[in-house]
Amino acid sequence: MALLVRFSDHSLRMQIALVFGTLVIALAVLLSLGFGELLKHRIQRDAGDSLQAVADNAGKLLATGLMQRSLEAEVLASAAMVWSAGLDSPEAQHMLARSQAMQPSNLWIGVADAQGVVRNATGGLLLGHSVAQRPWFQRGLQEVHVGDVHPAQLLESLLPPTASGEPHRFVDFAAPIRIGPTTVGVLGIHGSWEWSREVLEGLTPSTSAEDAVELFIFDRQGQMILAPRRHGTMLQAAGQRLPEGIHINNNRDGGSLQTAVVPWLDGNRYLTAATQLQPRNAASDLGWRIVARQPVELAFAEADRTVRMALAIGLTAALMASALAWMAARRLSDALYALADAASAVEAGHPGSNIPAMDSNREVRQLSQALGRMTHRLLAAREAMEEKVRLRTLELEAANRALDLQARTDALTGLLNRRGFETQMAFALALARRSTRPLSLIAVDVDHFKRVNDTYGHEAGDEVLRRLARTLETRLRGSDVIARLGGEEFVALLPDTDLEGARAIAQTLVTAMAQQQDPVVGTITVSAGVASMRGADDTGDAILRRGDIALYEAKGQGRNRVCVED
């Protein structure tokens, strides 16, 4: 009763100001919190989707890398012409050394005979040693094999220490060497596990230091096998396993996936996304899980700022409305009811609802305008945030497209790389089979390229490769497919061209290169091997292999020449 008496002692202006001011402040808070929470949920969902995209892309790159490494072992093991000269022949040694030069993360490439004795190896490591009990040798006798991560054993004391000082860990790749129906040995590759760290670090967004996005790999049993260096030792010591409560994206589920906030053994909670490594072939099905995480306070920082900003805008507008309400003295009751009804409609989210302009008096008109501006500003803030989220999504899509282009293009020459070439090769083969038209291939290799690098430096060697790429682009047709397979080896795919026509084109390329003078290196020569599709059952790998064999024949005959497949 005392409160009622004191309230009734105030003037009408004060009473209206108190009642109306309280109503407007409550309305502003409700609207601000409502819009803020909607925006917060949207931003949190987009943050989770972005984190899931990082994990999915990392899984795709690792799966592609494992497939390419296993195919590399299979291709090397299938070079029957090289192995027929003996497992320890100079040609075999040269091929192994060249393969390691093209992929330095292959710390050891060796060949063991059928009894498990190493007969040839890069750097001469483990020559004469028996590897008969090693899993990669036993599995490699039967089929192409990709082994899970394991510490180095025989090679630990023979290899230089890693840059981080940690022990060597390998992923093994093996394939049987067959001459005819007889398995004469096994080709094995010990790939450095640091390769996977380079893949993940290359994929982590450029703002990862600020946003603290981290990538981990767990094996099939849930054991952590790769972590960022700054956390790996501590988490391994704590026995960190695959966190519980997260959804593993196996790339087969329909609909969108929800990331989860889960605790880790370092005592913090993280927004976590995970994906199952999808193998590109049966040999590389290792069951790895790729996990991306980000601290909750960083992942949701923008959402929290949005809520605070919306609340601050709402409170500011409410204070302005309360000040205007102080001036209301007459004919305010009807206006107040009308404004309250309109505010309730806006709060309820009715379509087309807004704060109407009231004309009962100047004060009411000012108040209604202030409330209208407040609502408009909140709606504008929501639209601006949605536009920002849309732009972020477009940037992420553009980054993914750029990543895909980078994965298919050679950075030095601008030509297709092996991955991009294989796609074009498959298309050209399918078209040639359907139209029964000829299809030929030219394998080109720079003569004495190692001597160029050793004598003039890698910059001069890079310029030689670019010069060869330009010559191929200017001398070949727009419909021809040109790619750099690695190192100094290039390939050109010639649709609608038979073997004799391809030989003439190859001779033109060899002659054109020999006639050029590089300002640093001088005369540059190349060798070329020509192969053609033999029938509808012929494959791209077979054509490329025959082109490589013809190329090696050109090298053996003295270089600066063209050889055609038998």
pLDDT at 91: 92
- Whole-angstrom CA distances from 351 to 13, 34, 346 are 34, 16, 8
Cα 44 → chain centroid:
22
Residues counted in the chain:
566
pLDDT at 298: 78
Is the per-residue pLDDT at 420 higher than 80? yes
Percent of residues, the chain, with pLDDT higher than 70: 76
Which residues, listed in sequence order, are joined to residue 529 by a DSSP beta bridge? 443, 563
Lowest-confidence segment of 400-409, 504-513, 530-539 by average pLDDT = 400-409
pLDDT at 199: 75
Give pTM, 2 decimals.
0.48
Is the per-residue pLDDT at 40 higher than 70? no
Q: Which residue has the higher pLDDT, 43 or 510?
A: 510
- The residue among 272, 161, 148, 282 whose CA lies nearest residue 220 is 148
Which residues, listed in sequence order, are joined to residue 355 by a DSSP beta bridge? none
Q: Which residue has the higher pLDDT, 531 or 200?
A: 531
Per-residue pLDDT, averaged over 493-506, amounts to 95
Is the per-residue pLDDT at 208 higher than 50? no
Task: Select the highest-mean-pLDDT range: 3-12, 99-108, 364-373.
Answer: 99-108
Domains, the chain, ordered by start: 11-44+302-404 (no CATH), 418-564 (3.30.70.270)
Q: What is the pLDDT of residues 337-357, one digit of tens each?
A: 666 676 677 666 566 666 777
Q: Are 15 and 7 in contact (CB under 8 A)?
A: yes
- Whole-angstrom CA distances from 178 to 140, 181, 186 are 11, 6, 9
